[in-house]
């Protein structure tokens, strides 16, 4: 009989003292204070393993802290309660077998379609070509399907429960809602509807604690993770989550892994049965891994408070306004995740150090063709100064100014590009085509902003010095960035073209000299810098 016990078999890729290794669930939890973090190359799988297994095991075994003092006591301990966690894993050992004949982990025993059809296991891997999902850069074709080890299959299974595509799924025997051998109208996995934001600490144990919510009333009665519920069948329904543990381990698909094994060959997973699972009836307000938008006047059928999604190709620091907004407003506004709000409160009470090296992992999936294919996976990780979480903090105000100024600089560069196109008799660059000067400028500003964030983490008292450094460096980068474009402009751009029709820029001509002067003036106005920059001020900035 094939078996793969997630509690004792190595399957979670982690980094320990700079070295990558696979550990069992028990080892990950008992050695959490030694583990730097996840080592997988697939961020979707890392988030899925964390949300669907590690975090709910800890919350179910230890319970949630009911006060800030109780949370702080766990934080000061520096490691998890390994005795209680070990006893919990022993108690539920039978429910963590990936290939158990009666209740395989996160699957349905005996799940099958009416025709007995199975699909290649690549269906669980969005980066691998299968069906109508054809990634642009893939090392495999649909004819060259992979075979996954049990460890790889476990991670892919969990990621599918979180991020699977929408649309048609195979109809399973025993599902009363199957029509013509299939189910339609399936939504994406629950995390596919969010811009996921996960606080990350210095160790895996600290990361788990940073993601542990303080709930004064405790977990809801009847709330339990999927491995403590009755074994699932092919029957599914649309319903609200019964609580935090149910939400974290949400079974959005009914699946069964198909194993190949022999006496002389290792066990591998090559096929899968995948059908409709439970549909989440709205994202509950206790969802803690997303920022939120409050609609003052929501449209009919739209919730007043909805999760924010990440924009593909947009760096996480450009969303600092939402990340740092720890207060909820009744007006049209964004607010940060519940966990970051909690950290702001802990910092205010002196239970989380102002110079703690907090990292934020932002992950989101962009779907295409009615959410039936994965077009892009957005991943970013940035340092977030804990001191900036305070509403009246100087560092918070400065960082918000940085994000706003960078956005204005990007627009100024785009205006310059359009002015040069006009000077040559062309039209403005369409919003969805071509390489924009502003996007390229943001790319060059990103390392600078990351250094600012990391610097303010270590020294939150040096806001004034950081502001001087930002203004001077951003000024130099913004002017330097457009020099090649101005230098390479053809002679016709110097002569320019007469402005015609309705133009918000007024009368005159489109000419390189006018465009350059307008850009330089805009950059200095945005950054609040003078027309001359002395070598002494630059030297002082470099020293700061």
The pLDDT score that the predictor gives to residue 507 is 54
The pLDDT score that the predictor gives to residue 537 is 37
The pLDDT score that the predictor gives to residue 128 is 53
pLDDT truncated to tens, each residue of the chain (544 aa)?
589 999 999 999 999 998 999 999 999 999 999 999 999 889 999 999 999 999 999 999 999 999 999 999 999 998 999 999 999 999 999 999 999 999 999 999 999 999 999 999 999 997 654 554 555 445 545 555 789 999 999 999 999 999 999 989 999 999 999 999 999 999 999 999 999 999 999 999 999 999 999 999 999 999 999 999 999 999 999 999 999 999 999 999 999 999 987 667 789 999 999 999 999 999 999 999 999 988 777 777 777 789 999 988 889 999 999 999 987 766 658 899 999 999 999 999 999 999 999 999 999 999 988 898 898 899 999 999 999 999 889 999 999 999 999 999 999 999 998 888 888 877 777 766 767 899 999 999 999 999 999 999 999 999 999 999 999 999 999 999 999 988 888 887 777 776 654 444 445 677 888 889 999 999 999 998 765 443 333 333 333 3
Give domain status of residue 486, yes or no: yes
Which CATH number covers residue 471? 1.10.132.100
Question: Which of 287, 285, 307 lies closest to 295 in space, CA to CA?
Answer: 307
Helix, coil or strand: residue 371: coil
The pLDDT score that the predictor gives to residue 234 is 96
Give domain status of residue 266, yes or no: no
The pLDDT score that the predictor gives to residue 513 is 86
Q: At what angle do helices 437-458 and 463-487 cross, to 10 degrees?
A: 160
The pLDDT score that the predictor gives to residue 432 is 65
The pLDDT score that the predictor gives to residue 505 is 45
Give domain status of residue 335, yes or no: no
The pLDDT score that the predictor gives to residue 426 is 74
Residues 6+ apart with CB under 8 A from 341: 326, 335
Contact 204, 191 (CB under 8 A): no
What total number of domains does the chain contain? 1
Give domain status of residue 473, yes or no: yes
Give domain status of residue 527, yes or no: yes
- Which two structure tokens, joined as six digits, stand for 50? 């964390």
Q: How far apart are CA 218 and CA 473, in angstroms?
A: 49
Which domain range does residue 516 map to?
394-543
Residue 119: strand pairing partners: 272
Q: How far apart are CA 224 and CA 247, in angstroms?
A: 9
Handedness of CA 166, 167, 172, 175 (dihedral sign): positive
């Amino acid at each position: 009989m094939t078996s793969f016990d997630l509690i004792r078999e190595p399957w979670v890729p982690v980094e320990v003292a700079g070295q990558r290794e696979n550990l069992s669930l028990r080892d990950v939890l008992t050695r959490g204070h030694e583990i730097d973090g996840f080592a997988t190359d697939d961020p979707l799988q890392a988030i899925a393993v964390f949300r669907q297994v590690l975090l709910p095991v800890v919350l179910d075994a230890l319970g949630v802290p009911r006060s800030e003092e109780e949370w702080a006591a766990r934080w000061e301990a520096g490691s998890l309660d390994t005795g209680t966690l070990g006893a919990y894993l022993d108690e539920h050992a039978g429910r963590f077998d990936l290939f158990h004949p009666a209740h395989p982990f996160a699957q349905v025993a005996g799940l099958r379609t009416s025709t007995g059809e199975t699909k290649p296991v690549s269906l669980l891997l969005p980066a691998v070509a299968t069906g109508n999902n054809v990634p642009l850069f893939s090392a495999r074709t649909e004819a060259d399907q992979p075979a996954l080890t049990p460890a790889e299959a476990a991670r892919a299974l969990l990621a599918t429960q979180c991020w699977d595509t929408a649309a048609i799924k195979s109809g399973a025997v025993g599902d009363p809602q199957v029509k013509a051998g299939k189910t339609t109208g399936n939504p994406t996995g629950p995390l596919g509807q969010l811009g996921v934001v996960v606080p990350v600490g210095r160790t895996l144990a600290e990361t788990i604690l940073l993601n542990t919510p303080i709930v004064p009333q405790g977990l809801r009665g009847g709330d339990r993770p999927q491995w403590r519920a009755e074994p699932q069948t092919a029957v599914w329904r649309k319903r609200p989550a019964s609580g935090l543990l149910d939400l974290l381990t949400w079974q959005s698909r009914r699946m069964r892994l198909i194993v190949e094994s022999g006496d002389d060959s290792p066990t591998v997973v090559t096929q899968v049965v995948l059908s409709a699972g439970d549909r989440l009836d709205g994202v509950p307000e206790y969802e803690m891994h997303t920022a939120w938008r409050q609609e003052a006047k929501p449209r009919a059928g739209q919730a007043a408070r909805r999760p924010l999604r990440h924009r593909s190709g947009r760096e996480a620091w450009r969303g600092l306004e939402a990340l740092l907004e720890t207060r909820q407003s009744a007006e049209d506004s964004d607010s940060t995740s519940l966990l970051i709000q909690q950290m702001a409160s802990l910092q205010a009470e002196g239970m989380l150090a102002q110079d703690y090296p907090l990292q934020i992992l932002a992950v989101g999936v962009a779907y295409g063709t009615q959410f039936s294919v994965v077009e892009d996976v957005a991943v970013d990780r940035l340092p977030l100064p804990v001191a900036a979480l305070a509403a009246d903090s100087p560092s918070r105000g400065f960082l918000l100014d940085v994000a706003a100024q960078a956005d204005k600089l990007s627009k100024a560069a785009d205006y310059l590009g359009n002015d040069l196109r006009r000077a040559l008799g062309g039209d403005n660059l369409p919003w969805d085509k071509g390489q924009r000067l502003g996007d390229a400028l943001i790319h060059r500003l990103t390392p600078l902003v990351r250094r600012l964030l990391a610097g303010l983490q270590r020294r939150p008292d040096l806001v004034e010095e950081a502001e001087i450094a930002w203004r001077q460096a951003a000024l130099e980068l913004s002017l330097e960035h457009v020099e090649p474009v101005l230098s390479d402009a053809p002679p016709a751009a110097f002569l320019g073209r007469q402005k015609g029709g309705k133009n918000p820029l007024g009368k005159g001509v489109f000419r390189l000299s006018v465009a350059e002067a307008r850009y330089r003036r805009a950059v200095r106005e945005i950054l609040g810098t003078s027309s001359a920059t002395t070598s002494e001020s630059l030297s002082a900035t470099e020293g700061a």
